[in-house]
Structure 1
Amino acid sequence: MSGSIPALPLVFDPPRRARPPRHFADLDEEARAAAVTELGLPAFRAKQLANQYYGRLIADPREMTDLPASVRERVSQALFPRLLDSAREIACDAGETRKVLWRAVDGTTFESVIMRYPDRNTACISSQAGCGMACPFCATGQGGLTRNLSTAEILEQVRAASAELRSGGTGAIARGGRLSNIVFMGMGEPLANYNRVLAALRRIIAPPPNGFGISARSVTVSTVGLAPAIRKLADERLNATLALSLHAPDDELRDSLVPVNNRWKVREALDAARYYADVTGRRVSIEYALIRDVNDQPWRADLLGKRLHGALGSLAHVNVIPLNPTPGSKWDASPKPAEREFVKRVRDKGVSCTVRDTRGREIAAACGQLAAEGFTGREDPS
């Protein structure tokens, strides 16, 4: 298997497409004040708009009752262009899991998922349309990269999920509540869209009126191991949780399963993860999709535990993810006995390890399944 996938290029540039229109959510506090002033409005209106968007979760100025009726249309056109439309929604798990296919103004499609648990409500959001990391067992990676999402397109997923939960929802999500957790585990490699993801992170964790006020400890950023970007994110000191998608403890296998390993080897990825843990004081999640007869051998469990114990010690927690195979895939989940043995061996090396609850299998909303065939939006969903 090693060497079957060529090394990635030095720059992860998506194809050139028209940029989404500027939106209020793209702007920081200073830029919001400047934009409002350009419209001939007093600067304090910027704070009003921010309170409406981040606090009340309203994205249509026509519904902002504290804004003079005479300027609502002007503000709408200048600062709140329509960015996303829900093209299709599908639910499972007795309505507790719902996947949304979003269509942007340029026709680009991407997906997000809302998951309700007894103790939390989680939104799994996308940072890119598609993904350029080319992991062969991941449906999103095999579809390729269309483009980066704008900061506002990322934040609109959060706002929409928050608004749905707060209102009690319709259909799939039928009980009220508050969005408590965000995971950047949807489509795309977040650290390959670094600047926009960073701006979105800042506004997710900032309290209203500058953000949604979600605790940084409840926000997880997943990466396949872009080591320099991991270190850079650590230096931002936002203290979000880092999830490193490792999937193999040895370079020979990981070069094929996670092609970015051709640039940053396992040791470099783990060194960067240790740096992140040291700077932030946060434990790092190690994501490991368990694949039958590929990466589930007992000796690999031993090696994983040994390497993590040496690199991160108590600052690592392994999330073993039963593989969610996509239609026509040659990959399959490991048998339960092999899964149990794998977890035991990792724990025996002194590393915390659990099996992740896999939500959304029936609707291709589980890990690695986003953008599976039949729900890409390439066809007319109607």
Structure 2
Amino acid sequence: MPIIEAKKVTKIFGSDPKKIVPLLDKGMSKEKILAETKHTVGVNQASFTIEAGQIFVIMGLSGSGKSTLVRLLNRLIEPTSGQVLFNGTDVLKMSPEQLRKFRRKNIGMVFQKFALFPHRTVIQNIEYGLEVQGIDKKERRAMAMESLELVGLKGWENSYPDQLSGGMQQRVGLARGLANNPDILLMDEAFSALDPLIRKDMQDELVELQQKMKKTIVFITHDLDEALRIGDQIALMKDGSIVQIGTPEQILMEPANKYVERFVEDVDLSKVLTASHVMKKAVTITPEKGPRVALQFMRDQGVSSLYVVDKRMQLLGSITAEDTVRSFKEGLPLEQIMQTDVPTATPETLLNELFEMMGNTKLPVAVIGENGRLKGVVVKGAVLAALAGNNGSEEGAEAHELA
């Protein structure tokens, strides 16, 4: 079961919003509804699911409805219609007391503006929400200190906000959102006020924190690079409607319409796509097969090199056709002519990190997964094809040749 499921969630601003919902069902546009009824469509029948532990990014230009949508999830803004299910329970049907408990226990929020109390210390700011909930002073201090350490601010607990940099202040805001250990963290343009370098650091820290804590994060941004960098799933909005939901790779490589195409056209694919996107199956051999079998494999597969692996597919090295012929003529075992300094990468390695590596070797880059297992190889042709936007599927990228 998804942790969050939105079903045709709609928000219309105006004097009689309920009467506008049927017009949306008929496909009337946001502009026409405003012109004819003086009502504004904030969110238009948004439907999506969020799995536990995901970073789900909602993005779009200013006015697209993304900030309104995130506030519908915890009813800071009341939806006009639809359903928001948290672990199967409809948030829209919660009583005031149930809703308060849901907000306190299950959901946290981090805003663009740090909104720190200047007269409170860092630790006092972090524990403020716990204080409002009536949690015992000793317990809330322990919870706040744990949250403080998670965001890397140990030692700053007695400082005041004006003694911190912008990035550190945002860490305090993040720690405050995490202090009550919520299931879901809502982050609305949380890093947009930060300088570019600090922003990038915060993005990295958020991803690292999420991997450590396995929190479900709903992240709002207007920055495509940020969405691609941190998102597991991205929902792209326009005029209150979700126009596409997918992985960063799907958004880039399979845009749903012209609007999405234009949105992503200037993205540097090398900073988004990874080795796993372009890797091909490696042609392998185990050492005991010998040089005669190795040469036969090369002829059959049309390649000039093989990867030597053990029976568990752990990479041992590589052999070239030239060295294999020498091995055959001189009666040498494959282990003796095998090259062990094979260039390697992980499936998560970005393509721009492979460029220097591929420029310094004639061998394709071996992609190594867990326990040293060989998962595939990356050849130059596949990288160039992917950067050209054709998924690396050209015939020239299929052969694992020395290039």
TM-score (norm 1): 0.30
Higher Cα Rg, which structure: 2
